[in-house]
């Protein structure tokens, strides 16, 4: 008795790069894992430090998810008829200047998106400075014969862009030193953004234990809490002794080395479940978190629980792998 041959099904997807109008199309099989797409894309873009990047998609419940590179693509993207991935920076390095030039340029493109979509929150003066650098990189040196009138009218640089800020950016662009290499301009942009409080964080809206609405963000340095765009708390990884979940409360237990500082218990209402392992993260000199959460559903609370869960869940194994690769950088 002969077995029926299994029909080979070829699936198609589109991968958007950092500029949404720039996209590539790939085919994959039922047997292909997420790493198949990532490897092909990184090969195409000549990326060696691929661990910093990820592929995002919107599932059938309209939630944004990161593609798990170790699992089958088709199982993660069930019932999605038009499969579109977005190639994005997933882990922001503490020091971008350890990266290759190609990856620094891609990080710059990601940070431009972050500024444009409001994920980077900074002062008006910082927006002007960063905006002038973007204009310098895109339009080159100011030329009064070319850059006339309101030449930035169709260029969106920041979520907080106004006519007044545009005029200041034009003035700053006019005052910049001419003849600079675009890479010098990009590096100056990275040097400024990596020192901003919201660098590499994605806001997740929560309430503290007193009911005050805020958002938390996680990056290489630790966990930060923000109210009205200003950081109110910053828990460094080496100060975090324990993270746990009690009922609907996510609690960070902080122990300071300085005895003059009081031990703090940061409490936030949040959702979903994860278990992470404490490991050394050599490249940024920080420690990954150690936590245990139980899955909860919080009603009438604007929290992107799936995104919090997936973002935190992937930190431990992927940074551990990255740490072993970069060694003693």
Segment 16-36, tens digit of pLDDT? 998 877 899 999 999 999 999
Q: Which is higher by pLDDT, 257 or 224?
A: 224
Report pLDDT for 60: 85
Per residue in 153-197, pLDDT (tens digit) is 888 888 888 889 999 999 999 989 888 899 999 999 999 999 999
Report pLDDT for 204: 78
Report pLDDT for 285: 26
Q: Which is higher by pLDDT, 143 or 250?
A: 143
d(CA 243, CA 57): 29
What torsion do the CA atoms of 289, 295, 299, 301 make, to the nearest 10 degrees? 10
Rounded to 5 degrees, φ, ψ at 137 are -70, -35
Per residue in 82-112, pLDDT (tens digit) is 899 999 999 999 999 999 999 999 999 999 9
The dihedral sign for the CA sequence 74, 75, 77, 78: positive
What share of the chain has pLDDT > 70, as a percent?
A: 74
Only one residue has tokens 């938390």, namely 216
The two three-digit tokens of residue 280, written as one number: 């050394």
d(CA 222, CA 197): 11
Q: Among 34-38, 65-69, 78-82, which stretch is predicted with the lowest mean pLDDT?
A: 78-82
Report pLDDT for 216: 84
Report pLDDT for 4: 55
Domains and CATH numbers, the chain: 10-89 (3.10.20.90), 122-193 (1.20.80.10), 204-326 (2.30.29.30)
Report pLDDT for 220: 86
Average pLDDT over residues 269-275: 33
Asked whether the predicted pLDDT for residue 230 surpasses 90, the reply is no
What share of the chain has pLDDT > 90, as a percent?
A: 38
Report pLDDT for 181: 92
**Average pLDDT score, the chain:** 76
Asked whether the predicted pLDDT for residue 316 surpasses 70, the reply is no
Asked whether the predicted pLDDT for residue 256 surpasses 80, the reply is no
Long-range contacts of 9-15 (CB under 8 A, 24+ apart): 11/73, 11/74, 11/83, 12/83, 13/37, 13/73, 13/83, 13/84, 13/85, 14/82, 14/83, 14/84, 14/85, 15/41, 15/55, 15/84, 15/85, 15/86, 15/87
Asked whether the predicted pLDDT for residue 267 surpasses 70, the reply is no
Reported confidence tier of residue 2, pLDDT bands at 50, 70, 90? low
Only one residue has tokens 């693509």, namely 73
């Amino acid at each position: 008795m002969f077995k029926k041959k299994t029909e080979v099904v070829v699936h198609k997807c589109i991968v958007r790069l950092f500029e949404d109008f720039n996209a590539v199309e790939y085919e994959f099989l039922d047997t292909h894992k997420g790493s198949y797409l990532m490897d092909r894309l990184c090969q195409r873009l000549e990326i060696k430090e691929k661990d910093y990047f990820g592929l995002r998609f919107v599932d059938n419940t309209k939630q944004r998810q990161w593609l798990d590179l170790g699992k089958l693509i088709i199982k993660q993207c069930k019932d999605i008829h038009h499969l579109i991935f977005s190639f994005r920076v997933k882990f922001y390095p503490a020091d971008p200047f350890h990266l290759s030039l190609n990856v620094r340029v891609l990080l710059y493109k990601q940070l431009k998106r972050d500024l444009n979509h409001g994920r980077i929150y900074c002062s008006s003066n910082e927006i002007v400075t960063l905006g002038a650098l973007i204009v310098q990189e895109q339009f080159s040196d100011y030329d009064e014969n070319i850059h006339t009138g309101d030449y930035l009218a169709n260029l969106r640089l920041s979520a907080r862009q106004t006519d007044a800020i545009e005029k200041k950016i034009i003035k700053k662009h006019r005052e910049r030193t001419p003849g600079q290499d675009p890479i010098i301009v990009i590096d100056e942009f990275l040097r400024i953004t990596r020192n901003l409080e919201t660098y590499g964080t994605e806001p997740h809206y929560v309430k503290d234990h007193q009911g005050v609405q805020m958002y938390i963000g996680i990056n290489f340095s630790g966990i930060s809490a923000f109210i009205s765009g200003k950081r109110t708390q910053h828990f460094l990884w080496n100060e975090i002794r324990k993270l746990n979940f009690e009922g609907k409360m996510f609690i960070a237990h902080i122990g300071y080395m300085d005895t003059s500082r009081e031990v703090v218990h940061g409490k936030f209402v949040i959702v979903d479940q994860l278990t992470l392992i404490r490991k050394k993260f050599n490249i940024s000199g920080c420690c990954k978190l150690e936590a245990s959460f139980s899955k909860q559903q919080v009603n009438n609370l604007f929290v992107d629980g799936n995104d919090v869960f997936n973002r935190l869940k992937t930190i431990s194994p992927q940074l551990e792998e990255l740490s072993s690769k970069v060694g003693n950088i």
